[in-house]
Structure 1
Amino acid sequence: MITNITVVGGTHGNETSGIQLVRNWQRFGVPAAYQALNIDCYLSNQAAIDANVRFLEEDLNRQFTPALLNKQPQSQEARLAHALNQHWGPKGSSEIDLMIDIHNTTSAMGATLIILEADEFHTQLARYVKQQMPEANILVEDEKPYAEHGYLCTLGQRGIMIEVGAQPQGVLRADVYELTHKMALAILDFVLLYNSNSVPALPPCDVFRFIENITFPLDEQGERLAMIHPALQDSDFKPLTQGDPVFTTFSGQVEQWQGDTIYPHFINEAAYHKLHVAFATATKAQL
């Protein structure tokens, strides 16, 4: 049974769809159709929300690995992570059955459901969301065990993320908000079906399984030598094959993809600027 659900916004303080959804549900109540569920709505990084920034010192959504939670916190976000672990956890022993953390991206990823495990529950969830939202993408990040991820949602016994874009940082777009709201309701609808053993038999759906991050070319001083090629920009979850253009160098050259066919996402994500991440890669599979 999935009884206790926590819906989180504001893990990144300038990703406004989740912030607004949580505020709306706090003000007007969670829709009555879900009264059988114990749903808590929570804004996780109020200081970053107030400043309209992703974070103040460190990314809160990377602070929840077992190693970091057992380490003396130094930054404001690390201290907040320890406090949230006490409030909701400790990690691995939480009474939260499902944590839904809502995010935005500046990349053209549309409505994306991110799952961290491919067990029966998450497989059924992915298939149901895809049935209800054919336009949605399912991203599977199970390259490491669930507990080893540093994501805030892993404080729950189960944790998933909603990621919707493209939306500029600090801006609320109605179309992006509506996709966020639609996916949140689809997840809650699934939980009701799951709890009553009424999930319909659904066929496998296409998913994208994370591989690795690709960084921009850099010089010896760590300065970028290139930018995303126009043919790749806004082509999230579309196939990138050998010979396709990836980067346009500032000297006027075109760098091409040299590997196997992959599916890029988080293309030119603004939040990853400091990390020089150009995009993430994935394979396409069925779940």
Structure 2
Amino acid sequence: MNDIKISASGVDVFYGDTHAIKNVSVEIEGNTVTAFIGPSGCGKSTFLRCLNRMNDTIDIARVTGSILLDGEDIYDAKVDPVQLRAKVGMVFQKPNPFPKSIYDNIAYGPRIHGLARNKAELDEIVEKSLRRGAIWEEVKDRLDQPGTGLSGGQQQRLCIARAIATEPEVLLMDEPCSALDPIATAQVEELIDELRQQYSVVIVTHSMQQAARVSQKTAFFHLGDLVEYGETGHIFTNPEDSRTESYITGRIG
């Protein structure tokens, strides 16, 4: 049994008067890929953003309930959101490399957080992160070239490498393959499978095939509710809630 990495209980999210997430409780395990699935606008990305306080950046957003990372409340006033986001990395739907060199894209986080004492240590972090991002062989001879010059799939792997350069414990991915072609998608999926050796990975996906391929646990969201959560194989073959079954068989979308 994997340890519980994130424990959320009674989480509600409001955007102004809109009640986007309703009383969601879920335990996310370490070294596991957890997929959030559900129709568009059902709250899965909103809930994902709660896990590293990205909703803090939205003025009208209000989050209540409790979210613990390794037993500590991430919404405690003592918690610095910048430090939290180093521990809980985020990869977005569209690859968003910084307008900097490939090297500086990776080195940016470690520099800010003081993870390297000198250039040699920084070089080592950059190489290790790019290797973990499964892109080192493709970029090692052009680290001084802009990250924006890479293909879409390479940019997304660069962004994954950038997210893991700060030695996070959790990696959040918001539809990381939706802008990619099938070959790049397969590369990122393979990478996700490798990353769970070291991280807890939470992925929002519109593709049920992807959820079935990469995740061990699946959470189905519908209209702001967490309808069902469990082993991926069980959710897809033997769901307990009729709404889950309707979604998986394509009757609600």
Tell me whether the two structures share a fold, i.e. TM-score over 0.5: no
TM tier relative to shorter chain: under 0.3
**Would you tell me which structure has more helix in proportion to its own residues?**
2
Structure number with bigger Rg: 1
TM-score (norm 2): 0.27
TM-score (norm 1): 0.25
Q: Select the structure with the greater relative contact order (CA < 8 A; seq sep ≥ 6).
A: 2
